[in-house]
Amino acid sequence: MSKRLTKAVIPAAGLGTRFLPATKAMPKEMLPVVDKPAIQYVVEEAVRNDLTDVLMITGRNKNALENHFDNVPELESALEEKGDQTRLLTVTKSADLADMHYVRQGAPRGLGHAVLRSRMHVGDNPFAVLLGDDLVDERDDVLGPMIAAHAKHGATVIALMEVPSDLTDHYGIATVEDIGEGDIVRIVDLVEKPNPEDAPSNLAVLGRYVLEPAIYDILETTEPGKGNEIQLTDALRRMAHENIAGGVYGFIFRGRRYDTGDKLDYIKAIVRLALQREDLGPMLEQWLDVESHRRK
Ligand code: UTP
């Protein structure tokens, strides 16, 4: 029987070079999606899945992230004096969400290195990793089925999604085996960002993982790989190959997900989420309609 999951690790220390110059002085995880920074959606998703102990791995721009999940007394009293309870709630909500902890990565030496920085906090417990720039639509559950599969198999579970075959070089790509459990599969192999002609499938690793603590020992000895970074994918491949701590399972997610570190995906996330909002949706829909006719 594996231990209960309570801890979430959110790496947010990458350089965000695809989004320069916006990310020159601000982490990409703080870019607003409608009116909330991307990272808040991710923390809310962790909390919805009972992962209330959140460790964020931060980089040189740590202040904005820490401040967002803290109280701002002067702003709160100004809103209180105005009697603006609605806005007051939006401001205090992020501070009350979870039990937040922070650790710095130092140099951004890759996702595997960022995850290794959580070892002291997590100890000998299973934990979830949610990438801070990877946003899953609230209407589609990814962590729920992963946590259930982890409880059933007592082993690591990673999230997968189908991507267009010509985009495999943007992702870690998996070779999987059907185990007769529908969207839960066994991972046979993983390769980081293969060229389309070398890709073993079009099943890409997305930014949600439920990891057994055995991953730490593997990461300690994982050499820098693609891009000279310590890759989490490389450590997971070893875990799968050598069947360490029960090997690796995958959950094939078929819902909506946005990489907010990518400009086009970021814009799609804003439009999709704004369209479902009562205060913005109807007017935006009308405007999009007019705009698309105007461009024809
Ligand atoms: P990405 O590869 O998308 O982040 O990492 P990046 O390196 O910042 O992006 P670009 O390509 O330069 O635009 C996925 C997640 O892992 C974190 C990032 O912050 C992001 O949430 N990460 C990545 C770290 O925390 N540390 C690292 O060394 C690398």
Judged against a pLDDT cut of 60, whether residue 1 lies above it is answered with no
* 13 within ligand 1 shell (Cβ under 6 A): yes
Q: What confidence tier does 2 reach under pLDDT thresholds 50, 70, 90? A: low
pLDDT tens digits, residue range 4-49? 799 999 999 999 999 999 999 899 999 999 999 999 999 999 999 9
Find the 24 Cα to ligand 1 centroid distance in Å: 14
pLDDT value for 245: 97
Whether the Cβ atoms of residue 66 and residue 58 lie closer than 8 Å to each other = yes
Mean pLDDT of the chain, nearest integer: 94
pLDDT bin (cut points 50, 70, 90) of residue 282 is very high
Closest by Cα among 33, 27, 32, 23 to 12? 27
Distance (Å, whole) CA 194 – CA 190: 10
Kindly list the domain boundaries of the chain, sorted by start residue. Answer: 7-261, 263-296
Q: Which of 115, 133, 206, 262 to mutate to test the pocket of ligand 1 (most atoms within 8 A of CB)?
A: 133
Q: Band the pLDDT of 138: cuts 50, 70, 90.
A: confident
Distance 249 CA to ligand 1 centre (A): 23
pLDDT band at 61 (very low <50, low <70, confident <90, very high): confident
CA distance 54 to 76: 24
The pLDDT of residue 102: 96
When the candidates are 3.40.50.920, 3.30.1300.10, 3.90.550.10, 3.30.230.70, the CATH number that belongs to 7-261 is 3.90.550.10
